[in-house]
Amino acid sequence: MRVTGGRVVEVGRGLHAPGAPVLQADGSFLIPGLWDAHAHLDMEAARSARIDTLATRSAEEALELVARSLRDLPAGSQPATIQGFGHRLSNWPRLPTVAELDAVTGDIPTLLISGDVHSGWLNSAALRIFGLPQASAQEPGAPLKEDPWFALLDRLDEVPGTRELRESGYQQVLADMLARGVTGVVDMSWSEDPDDWPRRLQAMETQGVLPEVLPRIRVAVYRDKLEHWIARGLRTGTELAGSPHLPDGSPVLVQGPLKVIADGSMGSGSAHMCEPYPAELGLEHACGVVNIDRAELTDLMARAGRQGYEMAIHAIGDAAVDDVAAAFALSGAAGRLEHAQLLPADALDEPNGALRRLVGCGVELSVQPAHLIDDWTAVGRVWAGPGGAHLRVRGHGGRRGSAAAGLGRAGGAAGPVAGDGGSGGARDAGRLGVVIGPAAHSRGGPGGQRQRGRTGGGGFSGRSGAPGRGSPAPGGRGSGPGASTGHDRGRCRRPSAHLTRRAATPGAQTSRA
């Protein structure tokens, strides 16, 4: 095989290339470069300098790791910050407090970030930096979750030492990707400005540490920054100003999708579910967290689509997936459903099942197998026993597999949110079909009946939000002016004949960033 300028130009036996370097690959196999369709490179870059809390089974174990890291410091030295990453709050028997983290860390700003990145356990010194209430005798404090926590992710550099901690790790992250055969990545990191990645690569070049070969990087944007990106003339596929170029002349840095986090996570007990979490978990929001309701999501996707953006919509819980499927159908937007782990039990029902809608709209499923496996412990704890969680993984041969055959699939590692941050997702996603479940939401095992939180038959007619026979209860998600219609078919390739609006799931929090 002859390669010129980074492209395969000839394949055959007995090729001759006088003077060209020859790589002997006997016993190996050659494949196209892999794409990691979902990664958080900023978190991965910072991870090497953070305490690994992945294996902790309680707040006490995490606190001991922090205390040990302080004991191991040279005498008389004090770090600018203490940071950890990897734990899952839902795997701990109780929620920790700010006060007990203060007792170990004192005035050193400390952040322990959950492995799913949906919560942060901060001490009072860190909260003080962000102008947030600190622990007191009357209020010991608790980890921040979802939107209140996401609002801080853009501000982590305000904690002394954080920027240096993160930027120092990018060189190794890029090298590791290429060593694993990953030649392209969709970076889902939070970013303040479209120039962040061009500046980063320029700084690495100035320091003499820029890798000789670079992967292609598609840079996502989040909804709070979308208008800034639009004002800069960016859309999905646009080359970022200042991007280096590959040997074939194509840019390294390209604008990626609009990333929207529709709900929470299993690890933080905040994934938006059709049925409530067990009361013994003591969660504030019984059915999880709605970061953006169905009507607002539909409007956002429609606007972004008109501006040339593809979507990457995070939805973990089955109720969230149902909302996202409806929003794709109603908005006509193109893109992907991120994670695709828990689909409603009626996902295959015609015509309104979530999977049917996704297939009809040509939506891809971005599957991260390691993410699914990481969540398995949390799911098993929430719906334990034979009448509990019943997740079904199907390939492409069975009835459910064939029903999903119309969906495109993209592989991703979700690193470092899942697994070891490697390219396992990129390798494995093509072997997976769809996870359908938890089917035992009825508490009666597979096949049992369950209440979906829907009102009676019918839906909305008209964009004004005037209720039809199946209107949401007052104050429900999506009620009021601007609510999506029940009959808007969008621009689906195979539109549903009737899109039923769903009432608010009792106990779900709706929050807007």
* Residues 6+ away with beta carbon under 8 Å from 254: 216, 217, 218, 219, 237, 238, 239, 240, 243
Please tell me which residue, 465 or 268, carries the higher pLDDT value.
268
pLDDT in tens, 84-114: 999 989 889 999 999 999 999 999 999 999 9
Any idea how long the chain is? 513
- Which DSSP state fits 430? G
Contact present, 422 and 367 (Cβ < 8 Å): no
- Check: CB of residue 407 under 8 Å from CB of residue 353: no
* CATH number for region 43-162: 3.10.310.70
362: three-class secondary structure by DSSP: coil
Place of tokens 């799913």: 116
pLDDT in tens, 400-439: 443 444 556 565 555 555 554 444 444 343 333 333 333 3
Helices (H) and strands (E) in the chain, counts: 15, 19
Mean pLDDT (whole number) for 379-387: 59
Residues of each domain in the chain carrying CATH 3.10.310.70? 43-162
Is residue 316 over pLDDT 70? yes
Helix, strand, coil tally for the chain in percent (to 5): 30, 15, 55
Q: What is the mean pLDDT of the chain?
A: 77
List alpha helices for 185-317, DSSP H: 196-206, 226-231, 294-306
Is residue 267 predicted with pLDDT exceeding 90?
Answer: no
pLDDT tier at 118 (50, 70, 90 boundaries)?
confident
pLDDT band at 371 (very low <50, low <70, confident <90, very high): confident
For the whole model, what pTM was predicted?
0.70
First to last CA, the chain: 52
What pLDDT score was predicted for residue 415?
A: 56
Q: How crowded is residue 31: how many other Cβ atoms within 10 Å of its Cβ?
A: 6
Residue 59 pLDDT: 96
The 10s digit of each residue's pLDDT in 189-230 is 988 899 999 999 999 999 999 988 899 999 999 999 999 999
Report DSSP state, residue 11. Answer: -
CATH 3.20.20.140 domain position(s) in the chain: 182-382
In 3-state terms, what secondary structure has residue 301?
A: helix
Average pLDDT over residues 248-258: 95
The mean pLDDT of 150-170, rounded to a whole number, is 89
Q: What is the CATH number of domain 182-382?
A: 3.20.20.140
- What's the pLDDT score for residue 412? 58
Q: Is 77 exposed, middle or buried (0-12, 13-18, 19+ CB in 10 A)?
A: exposed
Low-confidence winner among 208-217, 292-301, 494-503 (lowest mean pLDDT): 494-503
Quick one: average pLDDT of 165-179? 89
